[in-house]
Amino acid sequence: MNPRGPAVGVFDSGIGGLSVLRALREALPQARFDYLADNAWAPYGERPADALRERVAALVRGWRAQGALDLLVLACNTATAVAIDALRHEHPGLPIVGIEPAVRPALALTRSGAVGVLATRATLQSARYQALRQTTLAAAAPGLRVHDRPADGLAAAIERGDEAQVQALCRSHLQALLDEAPDIDTVVLGCTHYPLALPAWQAAQPHPLQWIDPAEAVARRARQLLGPRADAGQGGLVWHATGRPEPLAQAAHHWLGLEAAVAPPGFAV
Provide the annotated active-site residues: 76, 191
Radius of gyration of the chain (CA): 18
Tell me which DSSP letter residue 184 carries: -
Q: Decide if 115 contacts 186 (C-beta within 8 A).
A: yes
Distance, CA of 161 to CA of 254 (rounded, Å): 10
Helix, strand, coil percent content, the chain, rounded in steps of 5:
50, 15, 35
Q: Decide if 47 contacts 69 (C-beta within 8 A).
A: no
44 φ, ψ to 5°? -75, -30
Q: Decide if 212 contacts 187 (C-beta within 8 A).
A: yes
Q: Decide if 150 contacts 72 (C-beta within 8 A).
A: no
Distance, CA of 110 to CA of 209 (rounded, Å): 10
Cβ partners under 8 Å of residue 115, min gap 6: 103, 106, 107, 144, 145, 146, 147, 184, 186, 187, 188
- Taken in order 156, 158, 163, 168, the sign of the CA dihedral is positive
Distance, CA of 136 to CA of 240 (rounded, Å): 36
Distance, CA of 38 to CA of 11 (rounded, Å): 8
Q: 262-263 and 236-241 as β-strands: parallel, antiparallel, unpaired?
A: parallel
